[in-house]
A and B are shown apart, each in its own frame.
Chain A
C-alpha cells in the first residue's frame, strides 16, 4: 500500500516535466477542438490558441488545475461569442492555478470570463469587449473572478459591460494592475473582498470608475484592506445603463472612485479628473438589510493625497442643483454621506487640504432628500492604516510573461 502511494506521488511530482502543448488553430471545427483541448489537458499543460477569429456558439469551460491558456495577442486571437446560443459566460474556469493570457473575448451573451472557486488565477493581457459600446443588452461582467484566493489581473482591457468591467467578488489576495476599464457601468469593482490592490489602471468613460463595495446576504462578507493607488480615473460620464435591479444601477453617472461599507481602504496618489458627480464618494449601504453579519458603514477609510481636477461639475444626484450653486458651481472632490458606525469608529480620514463635503445624514438608509449638506469635517491622515500583507501572492507575479 505504501509503495502504491509512493509511486503515485512520484508520478505527480514528475508530471510537469511531461507538460504538453495543445495547439488550437482558428477555422473549421475550432469550437470543438478548443473545448476538447481544455478538457483533455493535464495539470501543467498549455492550450495555445492560434491567431484569428474563433466563432463560438457555446460557452467554453476549463476545469483542470495549472493549465495555461494563451493566444497570439489580445488583438490577434479573438474568441467571438456574437452567435452564442448557450451558457452564462464565454469562458468559465473552475480549477486552481490557471493562467489566461494574450487573447480576447468579444460579445459574450452573459459574462466574459468567469473564474469561480479558482484560486491562484492570473489574467494577463486579456481583453473582453462588447463591440457595440455601452448597451444594457450587453453581458454583465467582463473579467469576473469570484470566491477565489489569489487573483492577479494585469494589462487587461474590458469595455461595454452592463455591470462591471473587471469585477472581483468574494475573494482575497487580489491585484488589479495596468488595466483599462472603459465604457462599462462600473469600471473596476472590488466587492465583498479583502486584501486587494488596485493600481495603475485607467478607468474612463464608465458610469463609475472604481468601486469598492461590501454587500449583505452573500456567502462571503466583510470587505476591507483595499488599496486604490496611482490610477487614472477620468471622464466617467456614461449614463448608467445597468439593469436597475443591480446594485451598480444606483451608482450616479460621473462617479470617480466610490467606497461603500468597507473597512481599511486607502485611496491615494490617483489622478481623478472630470468626473461630473464626484471625484471620490464614501458612503454607507443605503438599503434595508437583515443580515446580522453585515456592517453597512465605512470604517477607517483614508483618502490620502490625490490629484483631482474638474470633478463635480454636473452631479447626477436628485435635488442637488442648489447645493452645487452654494459651492460655486462645482462640488468639492470628496463626498461623504456623513454616517459613522459610532463615535469610536471613524468612517473617514482625509489628507490635509482635501476639498470635501458631507451630506450630514444621521442614520443608515436615510434618503438623500434628508441631506443637510455642508463642508467636510473629518480627521486628517496622510498615511494608510496597517493592512498587513495584501495583494496577489508573489507566486502569481512570477507567472506573468514579459
Chain B
C-alpha cells in the first residue's frame, strides 16, 4: 500500500494506492499547522511507503508518519499523475494555490521542459481566492459568477493587491461587477498562456490543479488557445496521485 500526499499552500491531498487501484482519497485544508493536519489526514492509514510532494513535502518524515518517506517535486508528480490518467498528454498546466506551472512532456511521459511563476502569487489560485472575497463570494462560485459577465473589463495589474485596487475602483465607477470578475479571470489566463507558449504548447493538453475546477478559466483558456483542455476528474488530486505513483515505482525497482 502506497500513500501519496500533496501538501500545498492551501490544501493537502492524500491518495492511497493498492496495486494500481486508488482505494482512498482525502483532502484537508493545510492551515497554519500543516504537521497536525498531516497526522489527521493519515489517520488510520497503513502504508508501506509515503511519498510526498508540494510545498510542504519536506515536512513528511518517518517520525510524523510512522512509515518510510520519500519526496518529489510537484512538477514530476503532475507529470506522473497526468501521464497515468492521459497517457498521450504532451502539455500540462497546473494552477495551484500559490504556484502556476506549465510542463511539456516527452512521448515517454518524462518532463521535457517546465516553467514556474516566480516569487509572487500573480496568476495563481491565491489571486482568484483573494479577489473572490472582494466580491464576497466563496471561491467555488467565483467562476460561475464571472461567466455571467458579457464584456471582460481590462485589469492591468497582475499583482493581487493592485488588481484589487483596480477592481474596486471599477466598482466605484458603477461598472457591471460580473464584467469586472470576467476581467480578473482573463488576466490569469493571459499570464498562463504566455507560460504555456514558452514551454511549447502541444496537444493533448491537460489542465489540472485546484483552479481547473473553475469553469470560467477553462472557457477563457479554450478561447485563448483554440484548444479545449482535458480536465481530469478531481483536478486537485493529481499531485497526490502522481506522488503515490512515484512511491510505487520505487517499490517496484527494489
The answer to whether A binds B is: no
Give me the interface of B with A, judged by CB distance under 8 Å: none
Chain A contacts to B: CB under 8 angstroms: none
